Amino acid sequence: MFWVTRTICEKSVTYGRCEHEWRQTRSRRTSLTNHGCTRSRSLDAVLDILANQHRRALLEYLMDQPGNAGPFEEATKHIVLRIGQKQGAQPNHDDVQVALQHHHLPKLADAGVVDYDVRSQMIRYHENERLETAYERVGDLALD
pTM, whole model, 2 decimals?
0.71
User: Does residue 101 register a pLDDT over 70?
Assistant: yes
SS (H, E, C) the chain: CEECCCEECCEEEEEECCCCEEEEECCCCCEECCCCCCCCCCHHHHHHHHCCHHHHHHHHHHHCCHHHEEEHHHHHHHHHHHHHHHHCCCCCHHHHHHHHHHHHHHHHHHCCCEEEECCCCEEEECCCHHHHHHHHHHHHHHHC
Q: Domains of the chain: which residue ranges?
A: 40-143
Share of the chain above pLDDT 70, in %: 69
To the question of domain 40-143 being in CATH 1.10.3210, the answer is no
